[in-house]
Structure 1
Amino acid sequence: MEALDTQQQPTNPRSSSQESASTPKRSRVVISQSKRGCITCKTRRVKCDEQRPLCWRCIQAGRLCGGYNQGSKVSSALRPALKIGVPADSHTERLSYLAAHVLSLDSDDRPLATDGVWGRIFLQLMNQVECVKAAAAAFGAACESLLNNATVEYPSPAWRYYGSALARLQSELNNETAIPESLALASLILAAVEILSQHEQNAFAHFLGAVQILTKTHPNCRGAPSADILRTFRDELVNIDVLIGSYALSRTPTVVYLGSHEAVSGDDMLRKPELAIKAAMLCLHQSYQFIESADRLRYTYPSWKEERDPIMCNAQSDVVAQCCSILDTLAALSTSLQAQFSSTTSTRSNTETLADIYVMRAQLTVTIIFLLCVHNPYETGYDKHLERFQSIVRDAAAATRLRRRTRSGAFKRFSMRPGIVNPLFIVGLKCRDPPLRALATRMLREQGREGPVDGQIMAAICARLAALETASSVPSSPGAPLAACDVLETQRVHGYMVPPPRLDDKGRRVVDVVFMWPYPPLAQGLGHVDYSGRDSWIYRSEPIHI
């Protein structure tokens, strides 16, 4: 009100000029924006210090740096001559640099998933937090031993880095000196180390540790993760859960709490393919949890399907319908992106997105087969899904062709993203059509590492399993080729166990695969024999050279 009265009084020109002469003028400070600054500083219209790979101004302010434009190389800042970040020796810098190339960077040294955990978050925290840097060095050491064709068991240097990272993580966790997202990321990196060595149980332990860190309240912690950070980590936890769980399709623990997820409409998924891929990952996660709960009842008699258990039947119907709905959305997306890919406006990003969509289609189709067969203890039940098996092979072939068009980096022998190895392996494992099984096995031999699975190991298992099942099979008619129906139920393998690879006395990689058959056969014992115990199974170990 006082300001309003002042404005209404008449002014004296002379007195105004005298006051202006006695009062110094206020100068406006103009901060020039850098044309080469990070995306976050440009958006905020402030001057960027242009530190690479991440702006130090953003780091000090606690903001997530958006990185730099596509014309800048990320790798130049990841080299040992870093001007910011935690102190580290040259070996640690070299190994963390290797970890960045394997986990975060494409063949052009740019982040693979800019907005994901392995994009800006990983690059920022790796150069800012000691436990994350140590975990990255441990992953780099394990990866280097694999690149050098070292033994599958970690040599002493890799173990030393792993032990140091584990001790650093434990220290910062006990002292609560690091923010939760840093501790969770370090735990996920150590899970990746165990995935690289195919020690899945240890990977699960680190994975569950990351979940507990993010969901537990730490009263003395330096700060709680923001909603955006939690959402990003939650998506990555779902990805890793699917990556590990897809190895056997029923390994995902139901005790994992990953928070609520927002529903995404079909229109939104069609406009943004990344939303469709996220929805597919969440659908897989939920489907694996149902498969795990239903698989415990597989060999009971009568089954929940025959008893018309409404809860189990409705749950099965719901997850199958959800998978089919997202599969239809992905089919529409692949048709749209394929048209763009055929035009001159296609970009590398479109190619990678289309390949990911084909991968998710194959993953969802495999899951639908398992969902429809989860109540059936007989392996012959998979014979009804030949067309779905064929579509898995087609989608896997399409994804392979697209990814061959993009130049692969020298270190891309490992991926944290679900791929086509597991779907092709399921075809070789459960599809008894000889030509299609042989095709899937041949395609597996051309694949590398995807999470805990190795394409060459899976191909060798499929080839040996096919030989065991068809050794005593006879064609239904003389002179006719062997068909799926000619492989009798008693000859079919019902399960397998795969320990980590070892080296034989000649230095060759060997996997001692254990195949399993029910005893007595289901046709004789189902309803009379308890197949939940080990005594009701026949185990046969087969050493397979890779």
Structure 2
Amino acid sequence: MPRKGSRKVRTGCLTCKARKVKCDEGKPHCNRCITTGRACSGYATKPSSGLLWNRPRQLFQSIDSASEGRALHFFCEKTAQFLSGATDPYFWTHLVMQFSNFEPAVRHSVIAISSLYEQFQAEGEKSHSGVQLRDNSLALQHYNAAIRELKTTDNHPLVLLVCILFICIEFLQSNKEAAIQHCKHGIALLEDANYSWAREHLLPVFRRLSSFPFFFGTGSIDFPDLVSVNSPLPTSFDDYIDAAADSYRFGDLRYKTVSSDLLEEQKVVENLLDEWQVLFKGLDTRSMLPTTPTTEWYNLGIEFIKAMSRAILLVRYELSRITLAIAFEANEMCYDQYLSGFQRALDSCLLVDSVLPDGSRMPTTKREPQFIFETGFMVWLHLIATKCRVLSIRLEALRLIRVLGVPRENLWELDQVYALARRVIEIEHGVVLNDEGQPATPVQCPGLPPDEKRVRFTIMEPKSSTYIDLNGKEICGWTVGFVMRDERDAIVTRNEFIPA
């Protein structure tokens, strides 16, 4: 007997669509998701302007070769699922996938990303310093094709979308200079993008990307103008997705009077953080827990997702407040005024650690994914480990870098971040740490280290290097300059080779 047909529902929530199950289409969140303890991701909306929405009947039409088809399939099944890390995957799993059907520039970029990502995953530890286009003919061919396509269009939303994809390609290659230029270009274009679609879906991505040039740039020339990514806070947060000046500290302006304009701007940002905190406290934590492909892959469970979703935002908030408060301070002792903030940030991470299933505590080299596009916990834990001078707090942060970090978070490399934080702790407290990150020798400075023993910042060579030890063994690592001030307040740089 032939199977009885049924009407296929195409208007269900995004979560039910991804799971390929029928949705009851309850609003604002469907009952099927709520009763199964899943996060209902809501319903897709048609963009009002800019790129037109198009959902072809056949996925990936007009594929020219088997290698292209395989790369697109791998992107759909693997790459897009993991690039977002712990954040909402909608951009990669839905928007990019759909536009790759009818925009050649997007499709070429997707093939390049997929091929580089697969190579990155396959090479494991060997690729953590980046894979290269020149070594991947398929990726190189399609990256060049995407550039050619962009030269023939004046469609700003399309250029903005592909700009994000280009940044991902440069992240995979550890090419910080090109990634910064793409980021600055995209943020500049946002100022002229009067399309509601682009501002709704692309602005949040660029807002998160806007911070990395400040970490990896070599000076103010690399810092993007953030006017185009500024927008007022909403009246309330609907979900966790919504909630998502060195010269005065180290340069010639040290101990100089800070201009009234800068102090006023500091106060404005402080008020915005206050508003964010109020809105965040009013967020309903029961119905907005973003189950991502990564959390489902590891079967992490609703308690982990709940803890992670709140923790990543609370950590960013606490450390943003501290960074803002010390922006114009002249020495490193200023961080000691905010030890309670560091402790609150660490407590949020420890809560995530406490609900992480034992089955997910595997060596980083065996984890999937090896690379994510977004910034996760790693950079914030590194900040706690290097700027909070309470030894017990920073040792816990050091441990959690390995537990909660991904081998590569955009340009942040876990092995490098861990080794650098570990060495800063050793220098400031006069101690040697073992492989578990615990003191292996007596601690010469168990309390808060004096200002002249504190590392202001580090200067690291962009590429790893090797040297031969006394036993003829090749050691891989990085050449690092630890910038400090001595007892006479003079700048000194302590150069060392840090083994990986």
TM more than 0.5: yes
1:176-203 Cα shifts (integer Å, max 9, x gaps): 2x74333322221121122233332221
Letter in 2 for 1:145: Q
Partner of 2:92: 118
Deviation at 1:537, TM superposition (A): 4.0
Q: 1:517 aligns with which of 460, 484, 495?
A: 484
Partner of 2:439: none
How far apart are the structure 2 equivalents of 1:111 and 1:374?
29
Contact in 2 for aligned 1:102/1:411 (Cα 8 Å): no
Identity %: 13
How far apart are the structure 2 equivalents of 1:110 and 1:276?
16
Partner of 1:319: 269
Deviation at 1:382, TM superposition (A): 1.1
Q: 2:53 aligns with which of 39, 64, 68?
A: 64
1:296-319 Cα shifts (integer Å, max 9, x gaps): 7865254335xxx43332222221
Tell me: higher relative CO, structure 1 or 2? Use CA pairs within 8 A at least 6 residues apart. Answer: 2
1:134 has 2:108 as partner? yes
How far apart are the structure 2 equivalents of 1:228 and 1:332?
27
Partner of 1:45: none
Contact in 2 for aligned 1:100/1:123 (Cα 8 Å): yes
Q: 1:493 aligns with which of 452, 455, 459?
A: 455
Number of equivalences = 431
1:96-154 Cα shifts (integer Å, max 9, x gaps): 444445553269x999746x432421111223322222222222232223222344353
Letter in 1 for 2:338: H
Q: Considering only CA atoms, is the larger Rg found in Structure 1 or Structure 2?
A: 1
Q: 2:119 aligns with which of 123, 145, 151?
A: 145
1:233 has 2:202 as partner? yes
State the superposition RMSD in angstroms: 4.4
Contact in 1 for aligned 2:312/2:376 (Cα 8 Å): yes
How far apart are the structure 1 equivalents of 2:254 and 2:289?
52
Cα gap change, 1:462/1:233 in structure 2, threshold over 3 Å: closer, same or farther?
A: same
Partner of 2:63: 87
Letter in 1 for 2:7: K
Letter in 1 for 2:478: V
Partner of 2:186: 210
Q: 1:370 aligns with which of 304, 315, 323?
A: 323
Partner of 1:392: 345
Partner of 1:264: 234
How far apart are the structure 2 equivalents of 1:461 and 1:325?
35
Q: 2:446 aligns with which of 466, 483, 495?
A: 483
Contact in 2 for aligned 1:428/1:462 (Cα 8 Å): yes
Deviation at 1:423, TM superposition (A): 1.2
1:481-507 Cα shifts (integer Å, max 9, x gaps): 84343x221121111123334353777
How far apart are the structure 2 equivalents of 1:118 and 1:83?
15
Deviation at 1:160, TM superposition (A): 3.2
Cα gap change, 1:514/1:97 in structure 2, threshold over 3 Å: closer, same or farther?
A: farther
Residues 376-415 of structure 1 aligned to structure 2 (within 5 Å): 376-401=329-354, 411-415=368-372
Deviation at 1:424, TM superposition (A): 0.6
1:504 has 2:466 as partner? yes
Cα gap change, 1:328/1:256 in structure 2, threshold over 3 Å: closer, same or farther?
A: closer
Contact in 2 for aligned 1:111/1:119 (Cα 8 Å): no
How far apart are the structure 1 equivalents of 2:262 and 2:85?
46
Deviation at 1:384, TM superposition (A): 1.7
How far apart are the structure 2 equivalents of 1:489 and 1:110?
37
How far apart are the structure 2 equivalents of 1:323 and 1:396?
20
Letter in 2 for 1:127: N
Letter in 2 for 1:138: A
Contact in 2 for aligned 1:379/1:492 (Cα 8 Å): yes
Q: Which moved more, 1:125-134 or 1:349-358?
A: 349-358
Contact in 1 for aligned 2:82/2:372 (Cα 8 Å): no
Residues 340-359 of structure 1 aligned to structure 2 (within 5 Å): 352=305, 354-359=307-312
How far apart are the structure 2 equivalents of 1:210 and 1:480?
48
User: Structure 1 stretches of 5 or more lacking a match?
Assistant: 1-32, 43-54, 68-76, 218-224, 278-290, 342-346, 474-478, 526-535
Q: TM-score, normalised by structure 2?
A: 0.72
How far apart are the structure 1 equivalents of 2:287 and 2:60?
43
Letter in 2 for 1:313: L
1:26-82 Cα shifts (integer Å, max 9, x gaps): xxxxxxx9732432999xxxxxxxxxxxx9xx9xx9753689xxxxxxxxx9xxxx6
Contact in 2 for aligned 1:382/1:431 (Cα 8 Å): yes
Letter in 2 for 1:465: V
1:276-335 Cα shifts (integer Å, max 9, x gaps): 22xxxxxxxxxxxxx46x747865254335xxx43332222221232233234434548x
**Partner secondary structure for residue 483 of structure 1:** coil
Q: TM-score, normalised by structure 1?
A: 0.66
1:360 has 2:313 as partner? yes
Contact in 2 for aligned 1:40/1:65 (Cα 8 Å): no
Contact in 1 for aligned 2:289/2:309 (Cα 8 Å): no
Letter in 1 for 2:496: E
Partner of 1:164: 141
How far apart are the structure 2 equivalents of 1:499 and 1:185?
31
Contact in 1 for aligned 2:188/2:228 (Cα 8 Å): no
Cα gap change, 1:351/1:439 in structure 2, threshold over 3 Å: closer, same or farther?
A: closer
1:492-538 Cα shifts (integer Å, max 9, x gaps): 111112333435377765222222124xx4x635xxxxxxxxxx743
Partner of 1:417: 374
Cα gap change, 1:376/1:296 in structure 2, threshold over 3 Å: closer, same or farther?
A: closer
Q: Which moved more, 1:368-377 or 1:225-234?
A: 225-234
